[in-house]
Structures are given as structure tokens and as C-alpha cells.
A and B are shown apart, each in its own frame.
Chain A
Amino acid sequence: MSNAYLTYAAKRLGQAVVVILLAYVFTFVVVSILPGDPITSVLRNPQNGFSEEEIAEIIAAQGLDKPVIIQLWNSLTGFLTGDLGMSMRSNRPVSTLISEVLPSTLILASVGLAVALILAIVVAYGTRFLPKRYGQGLLRGFPSLFLSVPNFVIGLVLIHLFGFQLGIFRVINPDSFWATLFAAIALGIPISAQIAEVLIANLDKEAEQEYAAVARSRGLGQARLFAKHLLKPASLPVVTVIALTIGELLGGSLITETVFGRTGIGSLVQRSVSTQDLPVLQAIVSLGAVIFVLVNLVADLLYPLLDPRVKILGGQKRRPTTADEPSIGSTKAVTS
């Protein structure tokens, strides 16, 4: 197992690196073929008051007078060594700008993910085991409700209710514990809907499996049946869904940050877009790609560890069929 697993992991890691590099090159190319010349238009903006010599100096310093392919090479090697270049607006290293705001966003996103997970599991448990008269059926409507309300609306409602009416947190101090929690709730609710949707469908499927009936015949109660038997197999596909929602989590955090007035990647993006600060934007897009690829890599590496049936063959994971013959229907004993 472990040898095959290591080969598999190494292969996946290699693929991830290639994807990240391609994503970086792609954003670079997109930025350089954008119509107009954002760089010189920023520099030549009369408000900035650069003289022609200064402009030429800046362009030379940034290496913008070189052919595109050289620029790409410099930019790529810089990216690989952690040098993301200088911001065109604030004249500070891009990496400094990002590392200032990244922790705040990461905290928001991870608390949001945690909220989403807890909410999804609670809703899914309810749809299965809440007595009918307490609205088991009603809960099934929750995911579509959660999905259809934009998270800035949820954010505004939360701010109004808990910030202004109940006074649990103060809007002017957006980094406090409670403010962070409510921002995370606003962020997590739409995400939880997608996770809950998949979880509910899979729980329904798993609960109909014979093993669930057999486990019940062994005297297991509902809570233990859910926690010990159904949750794990039902949440295997959820791992993939979570990996896919990471993108949304990052995108959603931009909106949530704006609504809650937090400083984070969101506000940095907003500032950089409005001032056409290309090095910062390029770095943030690449950062997004890196995070997305890494999370999916983790999901792929986790999967064989969670599901013992996943066999790793030649670097590919695949579920083994019951037998090497195409026997459909009865699962016959494989004896030999």
C-alpha cells in the first residue's frame, strides 16, 4: 500500500506543480494581451506627476522595456523564488502587501468553512432523524433556500440583527471575535448548502444499503448509526465538493469582507482593480490558483486514506470491481 501510495502522491504533486505554473503563465499572458496599456496609462496619469525620465526609469526598473518572453521568464523565476515584484501604486513589495492581509482572509475563510461543515452536518442529520412532525421535510428545503440567498444579503441581515439590534458585536470593530464569527456565518451559509445537498443525497443512498439495516438489527440507535456508519461513507464525495467550494469560499470572502468592512484580500483586490495595479492582481490570481490546486491535491491524497476500497494502480486511483469478470447482479463469492 504505502509504496504505491507514495508513488501516487509524488505523481499527483508533480501534476499540481505543473498546473500552478501553467496557471501563472496563463494569467501573465492574459494580462499582457489586455487591450490598452494600463502601465503607461497609470504612469502618465497627470495626477501622479511623473516626468518622462522618471517614467523611463520606472519602466526600466520593472523590466517592461524587454521583450514579453523575457518579462515572462523574469516574472516566472521571481514567482518561483517568492519575489512577486513591486506594487505600482504603493512602491512596496507585493509579497508584503499580501502577507499583511492574508491572515485575516484565511481566518475568515477557515471559520466560514467550519461553520459550513457544522451547519451541513446538522441539517443532514435533521433530514434523516428528526421526527417527522418537527419538520424533517422542511429541512430538505434548506439547502436550496441557502443557495438562493446571496451572501451579502445574509451579511446585511446578520449585521442588522446581531450588530445593531442585539448589539452582540460592534460594526466599527470588524476584527473582533463576534464580528469575525458572524462574517464567517454569512460566508458559510451558501457553502453549507452545497455540502448539505451532497451529504443528504448520499446519506439517503447509504441509509438504504443493506448494511444500515443490518447495523440497526444489531440494536444501534439512530445517533450512533448516523455517526458510526452513515457519516463516513456518505462524506467521501463531500471531500471533493469541499475542495471545489474553496474557490467560492475565496470569492465569497471578498464580498463578505466588503460588507463587514474587514481588511483582507478582498479589499486589496478592490483597491488594485480600481488602480490597475497589475503586479498585485497577477500575484493574487496566482495565489488563488495555488490555493485551489493545493486543496484539490490534499483531497486527492486524502481519498485513498479514507476509503479502503480505493486501490491505487499505476498512479491512478480507481475503485476495484467486485471480480475481474463482468458479473452483474449477484455478488458471488470470490474463492481461490
Chain B
Amino acid sequence: MASQDRLTDTLIRAITIAPAPQPAAPLLRVDNLSVSYGRQDVVHDVGFELGRGKSLALIGESGSGKSTIARAVLRLLPNGARASGAVQFNEQNLLALPERRFRPLRGRQIGFVPQDPGNALNPVRTIGVQAMEAAALTDEPSVAIRRALILDTFAKVGLDNPQRAYDSYPHQLSGGMLQRVLIGLAVLPRPALLVADEPTSALDVTIQKRILDLLSRLQHDLNISLLLITHDLAIAAERTDTLVVLKNGVVQEAGKTSAVFSSPSSAYARKLHADVPALNPDRYARLRETGLRLHRTEEAPKIEVSAVTKKFTVDGKVLTAVNDISFAVAPGTTHALVGESGSGKTTTIRLLLGLEEPDSGEISVAGEQVSGRSRESLRAVWRHLQLVYQNPFTSLDPTWTVEHLVREPLDRFKIGTSKERAEQVRQAIANVGLDEHLLTRKPGALSGGQRQRVAIARSLVLKPDVIVLDEPTSALDVSVQADIVEVLLSLQARLGLTYVFVSHDLALVRQLAHTVSVMQRGSIVEHGTVADIFGNPQHPYTASLLASIPGGIADPVRMTHPKPRQVFRKEQIA
């Protein structure tokens, strides 16, 4: 009983501690921060201020130095990095503190929510053991009470079975649950500052929204200052008070979020704004419709999938990966498959490519039956059907030149003389907007966008009718994504290609697809034209997916100043 009282005490103390009288100085002030790795400058002369209980977003593409700034504040820079300037936290320069004096601030004063929850917990220790490390920072001597504090925090961040999470190993929980655990561990010692480095970029859209809601709520309720690192302008606009836009380690623009967002003054911030799919649904409307007008005929569909079911047996349990799905795609159009991880998107395209055999139902591409073929005769289908893979950083052999990579399909199908092949490679490269001098380069010397263009050129070189695009931009920055989307749409307009576009990003789908199938747990719950689905969703799941598109400031449900409500709300994850 006594320990129960002490627990309540600790909880009340932890939650109701009155915010200290606002001192004049901001909680965090970064002045002239520069960071270099060897001779390479990654952050140059960056400065910003973050007040108590306020939120600030560092926004930029990969390589902009935003994560490096976060790591400098956390003093987690890798060996060999040199930071100069000042990071003033509570009027103490963190960069000048010896580790011995900085360590007491870690966790207690400055909490950290990392990017990829799947790698942020030790895989061979239970979550409970690791949570105890965070609970030890509360100075609560009793282990039983620490444990209760952890379970209580887990409940507050919306884990519906705190005890199970406590006893689990990290790989036994989903990414969304792990991110909740990590947020819980970061806020448990009640830090004054929370640094969140892309806390949702590894998660599904609907989970992304819940995690961001949770962060906003905790920030507000516990009066924590939030330093949010993100590449998504829409998220930054929706969640923070101040924006700092970075490019190549230099601040391009900074100021109140509403001001920067509605009237960006720097060219870069304007471009960033224009490249976010959620904010510009009609950006490619003309290009998309041109293709449709030129090539759409009332002929038979290019792709027909009818009543296909596929089951897998995992650990003795039968799992229906794809359940009685049907769709058809007209030639020259883009059909999008959307849904969260585990909804059956990937299985569907594997079936489409003939890599899996359906248990029942039929699939035909360009009039040819895909299902029930031998490996040999599938090759004939593959000439008309190509795949562009998700991640161009892993899908290209790093030891091959661009020329070799693009030529390989021609070699495989023994098409043309070597002269003709070389010519076709040059054409394909030109089609995707790459310069010829890149032909002799290897993937390592190319940027992510260039690599994905190579992957597209590789799929184009056989002159297929259908290209399956498996999340082709999910590993790329927004501005690069915009380039790739433009390349894809102009190719479609010129060559009359038919696309099957797999994505979890609805805003992107709205920009480029003509028709959509929404998948949930292996079934298609809703399908139709983009205008119908996005304008008037019928299924609650589609509606929830649409609601999770970050809308920026235009969104009426802005989270920055929520009405006071229940301190924490419990919610379930999927």
C-alpha cells in the first residue's frame, strides 16, 4: 500500500510540477554553430532560438545538415566531427562542457527520439531492462516504483498492453509501438528539451499521424520544448511554432512557421513548398491529362486481375496475403495500389510479375496470361512488364557501370547487335534526362535521384508496355521525388506507358495516378478514379488514410494549440 502511495506521489509530482517562472533567456540558443567532418563542412554558421514549451522545426533535404545539428545539440556526433560555435542550453554552452558535467543533462534535461525505431533499442535485451535505464534518471530509489512509472508511461503513450511491451524484445513489437516506447522513455524523466530526429519517417502514414499527435500532446501537456528534425514541410508547418530551413548546412530562411509557410521569401523555401505533394495536388494535372488524351483508347485493359487469392503458411498458420482482389488498368494510365505495410501491396505486384503463383484467380498483362506459366515462358511476359524497385541505393550492382546496368536486359533477351544495343542504351538514358557522360560511371558516383533514373532507364530499354513502380520515390528527398515524378509522367505522355504505382503516400498518388485501389489486410476495400476516392471516400479506412495526409497550415485540425483535454489519451495501434 505504502508503495502505491509513493507511486501516486511521484506521478503527481512529475506531472504537476509548475513550470519555472519564465526566465528571459530561451531554453536553447544555437549561435554560429559549424560542424565539419575532416575538411568537409556540413553545417555552417547556423543559429536559432527555442523558447520553453515552444517547438521548432529544422527542415531540409538529406545532406542539409539538419540531423548533424541535432546530434551536436545531443553531443552524439561521430568521432572525427568537429563542432565550433555555441549551443547554449539554460545559459550553459553544451559544446564547452566536459563529458562528466554533460552526462547528468542527458535524458534528465535533454531527451532524444530517434529516426528509425527498429534500430533504436538493443535487439538482445528486453524493453523493460532498457526502460529501467530511463527510469533510473528520475532519482526514484525504489525499483518497484520505477517499474510502475514505466508501465504508467507506456500506458500514457498509448501502448494498450504495457506489461507485454515491458517483457518483449524489440523485434516482437511493430515500428509504431517501438516509437511509442521510445517517446515514452524520452519523456519519462521529464526533460526540458526533446530532440526528435525524423521520428516518423520510417513509419506508415496513419501511424505517423498518431505519433505526431502524441508528440504534440506531450509537448503541450508537459511543457517540453520540441526540436523537430524533418524533411517534410507539411509536417513541420502543422506541428511547430518556428521554422528553420536549411540547405547544404546553411540557413536559407527562418522565422515564425505561419510566415515562412505562407510567404516564403527564399527561392529554396519556395521550391521546397512547391515540391511537397500534399500541398500541390494539381501540380502535374496537365501532364497527366495530356498522356491520357493522347493514348487512351477504348481498347481492352492492359492489365486484368480477376478474383486473385494468395495464401502463405507462416509458422503453421495460414495467412491470406491477398484476398479475392480484382482490378483492371486501361492502357496509358496509372493505377495506384495504396495501403499500409502488410496490406498486401507487395504480394500483389509479385503476383503480377509472376514471381508468385496465385492460389486462385487469373492475371493477364497485355493480353497474355501471367499465372500458371513456367519460368521460361514468363520471360516473354517480362519483355512487356518491367519493375522499378523501391530503393535505388540497393537495387543497382555497385560494381557495374551505368552503361552495363542499362544494357543488361538487352543482353539477357539477346536483342539487336552490339551497336544497336549501345544506341538503345543512349536513347533510354536520354529519355530519363541523364547526360551521356554518366554512362561510364558506377552507381556509387551518382546521387539518389540519378540512380533511380538509371533504374527507370533500365526498365525502359526493353520498350515495355507496363512498368510496375514499387514505391519508386520513398527513399528519395521531396525535391528529387518531384523530378522523378516529372520524368515518369512525361515518359507516360510520350510513350503511352501503363503504370502500376505502389505507394503508401496518398498525396503523391493524388498527384500522378488516374485510378486507385485501396488495400487493407489483403483486400481491396475501395477503388475508383482519383477524383472519386479523394473527393468522396466511402470506406472508413480510406477516410482515415486521407485524414493522415499532413495538410500544413491550411488544415483546420492544426495541433499547435490544442484545446486542453485529458492529459493523455489511450489509443490503439492497428
Interface residues of A (CB under 8 A from B): 208-211, 213-221, 228-229, 232-233, 236, 306-309, 313, 320, 322-336
Q: Known: A210-B119, A215-B130, A217-B111. Is A330-B202 also a contact (CB below 8 A)?
A: yes
Contact sample, A vs B, 20 pairs, CB 8 Å cutoff: A209-B119, A211-B120, A216-B106, A217-B76, A217-B111, A218-B137, A232-B124, A307-B123, A307-B124, A308-B124, A313-B315, A323-B341, A323-B342, A327-B346, A328-B389, A328-B391, A328-B395, A330-B116, A330-B201, A334-B341
| Number of interchain pairs (Cβ within 8 Å) | 139
CA distance A323 to B315 in the complex (A): 14
Question: Which single residue of chain B is at the shortest CB-CB distance from A333?
Answer: B175
User: Does chain A have a CB within 8 A of B107?
Assistant: yes
Assess whether A217 is in contact with B107, with CB atoms less than 8 Å apart.
Answer: yes
Q: Please tell me which one of the listed residues A215, A219, A333 contacts residue B204 in the complex, with CB atoms under 8 A apart.
A: A333
Chain B residues lying within 8 Å of A336, measured Cβ to Cβ, are 342, 521, 574
Assess whether A210 is in contact with B521, with CB atoms less than 8 Å apart.
Answer: no
Q: Please tell me which one of the listed residues B110, B124, B342 contacts residue A334 in the complex, with CB atoms under 8 A apart.
A: B342
Q: Known: A232-B125, A306-B124. Is A332-B106 also a contact (CB below 8 A)?
A: no
Question: Which single residue of chain B is at the shortest CB-CB distance from A309?
Answer: B171
DSSP majority for the A interface?
loop
Using an 8 Å CB-CB cutoff, how does the interface string of B99-137 with A read, 1 for contact, 0 for none? Answer: 000011111101110111011111111000010011001
B residues 169-220 with Cβ under 8 Å of A? Answer: 169, 171, 174-177, 182, 185, 201-204, 207
Give the size of the chain B interface in residues (CB under 8 angstroms). 61
User: Does chain A have a CB within 8 A of B268?
Assistant: no
Question: Which single residue of chain B is at the shortest CB-CB distance from A212?
Answer: B122
Assess whether A335 is in contact with B340, with CB atoms less than 8 Å apart.
Answer: yes
Chain A residues lying within 8 Å of B143, measured Cβ to Cβ, are none
B residues 64-110 with Cβ under 8 Å of A? Answer: 71, 74, 76, 78, 103-108, 110
User: Does chain A have a CB within 8 A of B474?
Assistant: yes
Q: Known: A217-B74, A218-B185, A219-B104. Is A233-B124 also a contact (CB below 8 A)?
A: yes
Chain B residues lying within 8 Å of A229, measured Cβ to Cβ, are 122, 125
Q: Known: A328-B391, A333-B341, A336-B574. Is A217-B124 also a contact (CB below 8 A)?
A: no
A137 to chain B, nearest CB (A): 12
Assess whether B202 is in contact with A233, with CB atoms less than 8 Å apart.
Answer: no
User: Does chain A have a CB within 8 A of B417?
Assistant: no
Question: Which single residue of chain B is at the shortest CB-CB distance from A132?
Answer: B79
Chain B residues lying within 8 Å of A331, measured Cβ to Cβ, are 116, 118-119, 175, 202
CA distance A31 to B104 in the complex (A): 68
CA distance A38 to B116 in the complex (A): 68
Q: Please tell me which one of the listed residues A218, A309, A333 contacts residue B123 in the complex, with CB atoms under 8 A apart.
A: A309
CA distance A13 to B133 in the complex (A): 40
Which residue, of A208, A217, A228, A336, has the highest number of chain B Cβ atoms within 10 A?
Answer: A217
Q: Which 8 A-B pairs have the closest CB atoms?
A: A333-B175, A335-B574, A217-B112, A219-B106, A331-B118, A329-B391, A325-B346, A332-B341
